Structure 1
């Protein structure tokens, strides 16, 4: 049974990479997964997990992803048991190589997202004006990371270096070790801050460990027993397949890199902090003392958020209907028209909800302490 474990793991990772959707590579994977497993996943979610509102999109930490992983694991184990032993070597080689490419592409995606500040984005005004204790842990983590461009760029460069190293055989072992360290840290962050990519980060970590399957014993001897070792380069399974395989690897990595970079090149902006925000984006403080509304926020994704004195927030999606009119829509689909007048010179905003009028003063939220680019070499320089 032991000699079936690794081929079974390799087959599972191959299936997972095929059917778990990576959105930045398009929607083809999701369409294939829904076609093959959509009805089965929905039936299992209802009958076994007893839920009628499961998200059948296979996103990380969703019931549909758990069901998909279980189904793929069962199929993989059955195939490993039925697999002829002479094919195990080929399965292990190609599954390891494809896992390495997959890891490199994922690390490149998240690496560039950090370098260009789109993963740890600048916190929105409504988050900055909320009390620390009222925020969920995942929002707290995301917002805190978003205040530091240096941290975002540094961790992004590290992930890009790890991706580059694992693509080349000479640096692959070191690159995989670095990747394992990165993925362990990511998994602990996701677990500790309840961020909804726990399952995906766990599987990525297992993939990185699997990719080192031929070096486990040598690394143990070197790192634990302090013995001298000589890492042997794995031989290719066949010279006829090799040119085609190299072409596939080059094409897939190249196309994936193009898909990752295209949005940045197309927009011409490589720092999300500087991306143009919509009209009225920012924070406004209500000047009316007798009103329950304390702040009005305009989110970059076209949401208007009202915060009352108890810091309860009510949000509406909005569009600008005319020069002086906003069309608000709540989550039930109900719409209302709100007239507004913005006096840029005095930073004053007037909102007319029928007979109810709010007069608000714009706040310079970018000057808040959390966003100040402070750096102290010595503690004595702090004030």
Structure 2
């Protein structure tokens, strides 16, 4: 391989690394701006603190502050934009190094094994690899010159590549923001949440559920991806649900300690469930969505 060919390969690898790092940072940033990243299931929020796994403990902590999510999201978005341009690339890479090291330590200490591998193999390594080109300049600036400014500004040619870069840093973040917003809009957050079971009647007889494993009262949780959780009688029961307009169908995967296998019902005002249990038994349930003071997750995305 000739020196010219090798130089072209290195240049191609460099710009590929830049675009991969930029995409990764933007993809990490947008979900934070839309409160999509540090989210946990509603029912997990009622698990005692000492029993929460480390990953969910971390997510519940960072998810409580939207301002923090905005700060980190904008920082990652800035990195994704700054590294695309030669004039601001070094600044973006130095910020990226700080962000990646911080994320790596957090993920390592909170047992986020997949994220640790991801930031080792891609984001952090790409950042260090791209910074390697600036090693002499960084040594000179920070050590020999003691942080004193010196040198000339980069000259930027008005080429097609400059226009493509500008188009990328505008169009890709906007497109990914729209995509993420569409994902959020596909869920009914007026339904998804934590509910207290107020009253239950089966065959016109009142059934007194006791508190379950989660929470201080009988609870019903509608989660994203059609996951259903019932917490009653010192137990917890998992299932799934589908809803179309007011038609609600709930199926439980385990019926130990309670008689409910599935419910086919009408769900009115997110409060009253009226229908049949196990195909033929009349059932009525009254549930009440918890206020934000008792479950902050109930307030996300809901006007």
Report what 1:171 is aligned to: 88
Q: What is the alpha-carbon distance in structure 1 between the residues aligned to residue 155 and residue 12 of structure 2?
A: 12
Q: What is the alpha-carbon distance in structure 1 between the residues aligned to residue 6 and residue 24 of structure 2?
A: 26
Report which of the two has the higher share of helix: 1
Pairing of 1:199-238 with structure 2 (within 5 A): 199-202=117-120, 203-227=122-146, 228=148, 230=150
Report which of the two has the higher share of strand: 2
Report what 1:366 is aligned to: 292
Residue 240 of structure 2: SS of its match in structure 1?
A: strand
How far is 1:87 from its partner?
2.6
2:193, 2:298 within 8 Å by CA — same for their partners in 1?
Answer: no
What is the TM-score with the length of structure 1 in the denominator?
A: 0.59
Q: What is the alpha-carbon distance in structure 1 between the residues aligned to residue 86 and residue 3 of structure 2?
A: 27
Residue 133 of structure 2: SS of its match in structure 1?
A: coil
Q: What is the alpha-carbon distance in structure 1 between the residues aligned to residue 266 and residue 107 of structure 2?
A: 43
Report what 1:283 is aligned to: 195
Structure 1 runs (4+) deviating above 3 angstroms are 83-86, 224-236, 242-259, 264-269, 278-281, 289-294, 320-325, 339-345, 347-361, 369-373
Report what 1:56 is aligned to: none
Report what 1:162 is aligned to: 79
Report what 2:179 is aligned to: 263
Report what 2:230 is aligned to: 306
How far is 1:182 from its partner?
0.7
Q: What is the alpha-carbon distance in structure 2 between the residues aligned to residue 337 and residue 289 of structure 1?
A: 17
What is the TM-score with the length of structure 2 in the denominator?
A: 0.72
Report what 1:320 is aligned to: 243
Residue 212 of structure 1: SS of its match in structure 2?
A: helix
1:164-220, CA deviations, whole angstroms, 9 ceiling, x for partnerless residues? 222222221111100111111111121111222212212211111111222112212
Q: What is the alpha-carbon distance in structure 2 between the residues aligned to residue 364 and residue 290 of structure 1?
A: 17
Confirm whether residue 338 of structure 1 aligns to residue 254 of structure 2.
no
Q: What is the alpha-carbon distance in structure 2 between the residues aligned to residue 266 and residue 371 of structure 1?
A: 20
Pairing of 1:1-383 with structure 2 (within 5 A): 83-121=1-39, 123-195=40-112, 196-202=114-120, 203-227=122-146, 228=148, 230=150, 243=159, 245-246=161-162, 249=165, 256-264=172-180, 276-277=188-189, 279=191, 281-285=193-197, 288-289=208-209, 294-308=218-232, 313-320=236-243, 323=246, 325-328=248-251, 330=253, 336-340=261-265, 347=271, 353-354=277-278, 361-368=287-294
How far is 1:128 from its partner?
2.2
